[in-house]
Amino acid sequence: MADDNDHRIVSQVPSVPDSDISLSNVSRRAVLKHAAALGAGAALSLRPLFAKLPRVDSNTTHGRIDVHHHMLPPFYMDLRRAVPDVGKMPAWSASKSLEDMEKNGVSTAMLSLAVSGVTFDAGEAGRSLARKSNDFGAQLVKDHPASFGLLAALPLPDPKGSLAEMEYALDTLHANGIALLSSYGDKWLGDATYEPVFEELNRRKAVVFVHPNAPNCCVNVLPHVPASTMEFYFDTARTIESLLLNGTFSRFPNVQFIFSHGGGAMPILANRMARLFPKDLASYAPNGVLYELKRQYYDTASASNPTSLGAIMSIVPSSQIVFGSDFPFLSAGEVVSDLMHSGLPGAMVDAISRDNAVRLFARMKG
Ligand SMILES: [Zn+2]
């Protein structure tokens, strides 16, 4: 959890509209030009230059949009309690979500089920878990239409059940997008059995939020190291590679993916993935591997620190980065504070905090 310091930092910052930011002896235009010349990643190293400036993005009237915000419904917590040796979850309620959002200038949170300990199987239990989760989330959206959106769960090990749930979630519940896991059992998202699901997601121009999971192969590889410490990051990179190798990105270009945690380990591996992409599969990435990586979206949850943000921004344009907190595991205040101190230009912070997500979700509507 972020500590109280984060909130204190946020609350001390004066409200400075973006247009009021002036740089003593350095015009905003010059700094933007400088940042552009160096590349977005290099802009992070401009911290000393920005140190004395009014901090930006403190104007919460526009509201941040949090694309990585979990709900832990009571029925889900009951299921977890029946599983031996699962870790603890933080206490969650809709009012706790709203409180953290209010404190940190988040106007809208896109809710997704936190999946850990209990996951989707390919039978009736998987379908029931997805349906209950989606009905629960839709009710929260109905109760708080100005604050919540919904990224609906699918029981993906079961493509037929997933197609039925997608129709219900998008057409009846009017969910804003779909939330998938990086893997199910030992299958990653590019798996051929999932093709009909991505075909339909593509037809609908759906936003697909991809949250990490620990695949069967890689649970407890190192004892005492929770999956969230390392494996989540590797599994996110693995599923991105799976989507590349099976041509899912290139064949279904209207699916708008958001990968959690800045793409996990992907930014570090991107150039290697491009250089070593199998030549006999080149037709699956006709515009190149980096082209496909650069047009996906990535969230800031646990990826807003200078090292992680610098890594992802060295691979993708800032237009592809969206605000994510990972509440209730972390407070949105952590990302807010990191972005405010990142040294990035105010317009870029605003885009990451809100504008990029507005554009992304509007495209789905169209
Ligand atoms: Zn999460």
Q: Is the pLDDT of residue 237 over 70?
A: yes
Distance 64 CA to ligand 1 centre (A): 17
Please state, in angstroms and as integers, the Cα–Cα distance from residue 311 to each residue in 188, 265, 333, 351, following that order: 24, 9, 21, 18
Specify the pairing of strand 321-322 against strand 207-211: unpaired
- pLDDT category, 359, cuts 50, 70, 90? very high
Distance 251 CA to ligand 1 centre (A): 28
Distance 113 CA to ligand 1 centre (A): 9
Distance 361 CA to ligand 1 centre (A): 19
Distance 169 CA to ligand 1 centre (A): 20
Q: How far is CA 285 from the centre of its chain?
A: 23
Between 173 and 19, whose confidence is greater? 173
Which domains occur in the chain, in start order? 63-365 (3.20.20.140)
Distance 143 CA to ligand 1 centre (A): 23
Distance 173 CA to ligand 1 centre (A): 22
pLDDT at position 218: 86
Q: How far is CA 225 from the centre of its chain?
A: 23
pLDDT at position 5: 31
**Apex CA 169: angle with CA 163 and CA 171, to 5°?**
95
pLDDT at position 34: 40
Instruction: Note the pTM of the prediction, 2 decimals.
Output: 0.84
Distance 25 CA to ligand 1 centre (A): 42
Distance 327 CA to ligand 1 centre (A): 7
Q: Exposure string (b/e) for 8-18, b if CB count within 10 Å is 16 or more?
A: eebeebeebeb
pLDDT at position 173: 97
- Residues 250, 284 contacting (CB under 8 angstroms): yes
Distance 232 CA to ligand 1 centre (A): 10
Identity of the residue numbered 216: N
Q: Which residues contact 167 (CB under 8 A, 6 or more apart)?
A: none
- pLDDT category, 80, cuts 50, 70, 90? confident
Distance 192 CA to ligand 1 centre (A): 26
Distance 282 CA to ligand 1 centre (A): 33
Distance 40 CA to ligand 1 centre (A): 26
Cα dihedral: 280, 284, 287, 291 (round 10): -110
Mean of pLDDT values over 306-321: 96
Q: Which stretch of DSSP H or E encloses residue 107?
A: strand 106-113
Separation of alpha carbons 150 and 179, rounded Å: 9
**Percent of the chain having pLDDT more than 70?**
82
Separation of alpha carbons 308 and 266, rounded Å: 11
Distance 330 CA to ligand 1 centre (A): 9
Q: Exposure string (b/e) for 112-121, b if CB count within 10 Å is 16 or more?
A: bbbbbbbbbe
Distance 36 CA to ligand 1 centre (A): 31
Distance 247 CA to ligand 1 centre (A): 26
pLDDT at position 88: 82
Which residues surround the ion ligand 1 when the cut-off is CB under 5 Å? 326
Distance 329 CA to ligand 1 centre (A): 7
- pLDDT category, 61, cuts 50, 70, 90? low
Average pLDDT, the chain: 85
pLDDT tens-digit readout, 182-235? 999 899 999 999 999 999 999 999 999 999 998 888 888 898 888 889 999 999
Distance 342 CA to ligand 1 centre (A): 22
Distance 94 CA to ligand 1 centre (A): 16
Helices of type H across the chain: 4-12, 28-38, 40-43, 47-50, 74-81, 94-103, 124-143, 159-167, 195-203, 231-245, 248-251, 266-275, 289-294, 306-313, 332-340, 346-350, 356-365
- Residues 180, 145 contacting (CB under 8 angstroms): no
Torsion sign (Cα): 301, 303, 309, 311: negative
pLDDT at position 203: 97
Between 205 and 80, whose confidence is greater? 205
Torsion sign (Cα): 116, 337, 5, 13: negative
C-beta atoms surrounding 75 within 10 Å: 14
Residue at token pair 């990586």: 293
C-beta atoms surrounding 134 within 10 Å: 24
Distance 89 CA to ligand 1 centre (A): 12
Q: Exposure string (b/e) for 193-215, b if CB count within 10 Å is 16 or more?
A: ebbebbebbbebebbbbbbbbbb
pLDDT tens-digit readout, 246-284? 999 999 999 999 999 999 999 999 999 999 999 999 999
Dmax over CA atoms of the chain, in Å, equals 65
Distance 49 CA to ligand 1 centre (A): 34
Distance 96 CA to ligand 1 centre (A): 16
Tell me: cis bond preceding 253? Omega within 30 of 0 counts: no
pLDDT tens-digit readout, 94-149? 999 999 999 999 999 999 998 877 788 888 999 999 999 999 999 999 999 999 99
Q: Is the pLDDT of residue 70 over 90?
A: yes
Specify the 3-state DSSP secondary structure of 281.
helix
Distance 70 CA to ligand 1 centre (A): 7
- pLDDT category, 287, cuts 50, 70, 90? very high
Q: Which residues contact 255 (CB under 8 A, 6 or more apart)?
A: 198, 201, 202, 205, 206, 208, 248
* Six token digits for residue 174: 């009017």
pLDDT tens-digit readout, 9-33? 222 222 323 332 233 333 344 333 4
Distance 209 CA to ligand 1 centre (A): 10
Q: Which residues contact 148 (CB under 8 A, 6 or more apart)?
A: 94, 97, 108, 109, 110, 111, 137, 140, 141
Separation of alpha carbons 158 and 162, rounded Å: 6
The conformation of residue 148, written as its DSSP 8-state character, comes to: E
Identity of the residue numbered 228: S
